[in-house]
Amino acid sequence: MCELLGMSANVPTDICFSFTGLMQRGGNTGPHSDGWGITFYEGRGFRTFKDPNPSSRSRIAELVQEYPIKSCAVISHIRQANRGGVSLENTHPFTRELWGRYWTFAHNGQLTEYQSLDTGRFNPVGQTDSEKAFCWLLNQMEERFPVMPQKLEPVLEFVASCCDQLRQLGVYNMLLSDGEYVLTYCSNNLHWITRRAPFGQASLIDEDVTIDFQKETTPNDVVTVIATQPLTNDENWHKMEVGEFNMFHYGEQVYNRTL
Amino acid sequence: MCELLGMSANVPTDICFSFTGLMQRGGNTGPHSDGWGITFYEGRGFRTFKDPNPSSRSRIAELVQEYPIKSCAVISHIRQANRGGVSLENTHPFTRELWGRYWTFAHNGQLTEYQSLDTGRFNPVGQTDSEKAFCWLLNQMEERFPVMPQKLEPVLEFVASCCDQLRQLGVYNMLLSDGEYVLTYCSNNLHWITRRAPFGQASLIDEDVTIDFQKETTPNDVVTVIATQPLTNDENWHKMEVGEFNMFHYGEQVYNRTL
């Protein structure tokens, strides 16, 4: 299995604190030593740092922990390989263009009978069930909506129903973003928290680090963090339900669908 | 205008030396201070480091100079913006999937009347003439060859003819790679050199650095470097001709077409 980390914020915010906790699980406090990646959106553009090497010993992960890249939407993943070998093309997140936007995807779980999924024009490059599922999902979205609809509600309902289908094939926890929205789907394991004023302190579970968010924020900041397992031990994380689908928009939860 | 840097090698090779020279031109010895990027292929996967900030003062560029990532195909670019603002979505290289492979593209030059290019299913995300030309090129390739042909020769001839068309719209120097091949097109300014045994010394033009390639290589290594302007002052770089198209495969020049 793997671990997911996502962020949605109303002002460009760095994710150094949460990322520091997650990276420890990549071969140190956790067994996820088969690569890691993180995608930061800045406007409509993005940049991804990834490494097929364990995050707890990665020089690039060190840079990302120390160098605060500020973003309103972040998707990150550390991998414990099941389907597909340990290689760069199998390292999440995956990014593809649809409707003139870059979509970024990360998956935690394992699917069976995914080989027959029709991915249309979106060809997987690597061998993972995850990339195959992502390509299938994008193809479904494009076939249903050849042009991006003005109203987002029907798109969301459709994406949620696609995720329901993928969950029939196994464990499917997902983060998906176009840089503006962060969409989540929970199959069995996904938590989230929204931080806003009055900000307090928080301590990482995986590393002896405490942060005082009040010193790092302004009173209007709204920052949501989504993670497979809670990253701090002194805050109230919400556990998502089986089949729960959420949309976060610049930090705020703006759509929720439970089964 | 911008500067291009590419590498094709028969064994995974780092590009720290050449990249160090190029990065000085991003705001230090050169005026190209509107962002930079570099894509390393490792097998069929890739990773890209990019920054909309000047390369000569970029913390991420520092890492790339110091941390030897070994690759058989590299595409890099430093930007002096003309079409499209300074932003991450306008920062080269651009990467898209076609035929189940990731294709990476960087362009030096400026095009006019590029707005009407038909990009089909490949939608530009940013506003540059370069990304538009890349999307058009991929769409042309896919329309002409819906499935990747076994024989590459006709594809190459076709890509060269597409580049000829783009050159009609302005200045079009290009690097294009799928991780195995590095294709180049020269509109007015592109140089290359192939280094092989017996290896000698070389000194950067832009920085007081000398390297003894003999210490860094094995006798069978073949490494080709392509750059807008020569990066060293004590080696014989070949200047490409107007309309010249080349293909490099694991370090060797395997195809050449001049007008």
User: What does the domain layout of chain B look like in residue ranges?
Assistant: 3-110+173-257
| pLDDT single digits (tens) A119-145 | 999 999 999 999 999 999 999 999 999
- pLDDT above 90: residue B86: no
Nearest alpha-carbon partner for A25 in A15, A16, A35: A35
> Which is it for the CA torsion B101, B38, B80, B54, positive or negative?
positive
- pLDDT above 90: residue B101: yes
Beta strands across the sheet bearing A181-185: A94-98, A101-108, A173-177, A181-185, A245-249, A252-257
| pLDDT score for A79 | 84
Q: Does the beta-carbon distance from B45 to A87 stay under 8 Å?
A: yes
How many CA atoms, within 13 angstroms, populate the side-chain half-sphere of residue B175?
33
Q: Which residues of B touch A88 (CB under 8 A)?
A: 42-43, 45-47
- The ipTM estimated for the assembled molecules is 0.94
DSSP-assigned beta bridge partners for residue A223: A9, A195
- The 8-class DSSP code of residue A167 comes to H
Q: Are B59 and B67 in contact (CB under 8 A)?
A: no
CATH classification code of A3-257: 3.60.20.10
Average pLDDT for chain B: 93
Q: What is the mean pLDDT of residues A213-242?
A: 94
A60 touches chain B (CB under 8 A): yes
Q: Does the beta-carbon distance from A97 to B123 stay under 8 Å?
A: yes
CATH superfamily membership of B3-110+173-257: Aminohydrolase, N-terminal nucleophile (Ntn) domain (3.60.20.10)
| Residue B141: strand, helix, or coil | helix
**The amino acid at B111:** L
DSSP-assigned beta bridge partners for residue B227: B5, B191
| Residue A237: strand, helix, or coil | coil
| pLDDT score for A229 | 94
The pLDDT confidence band at residue A197, using thresholds 50, 70 and 90, is very high
User: For residue A137, what are its two tokens?
Assistant: 């999902």
- pLDDT above 80: residue A32: no
Measured in residues, chain A has a length of 259
Q: Which residues of A touch B46 (CB under 8 A)?
A: 88-89
| pLDDT score for A259 | 87
| pLDDT score for A12 | 96
A104 touches chain B (CB under 8 A): no
| pLDDT score for A25 | 79
B49 touches chain A (CB under 8 A): yes
- pLDDT above 80: residue B26: no
| Residue B56: strand, helix, or coil | helix
A254 touches chain B (CB under 8 A): no
| pLDDT score for A1 | 64
- pLDDT above 90: residue A81: no
| pLDDT score for B1 | 64
- pLDDT above 70: residue A196: yes
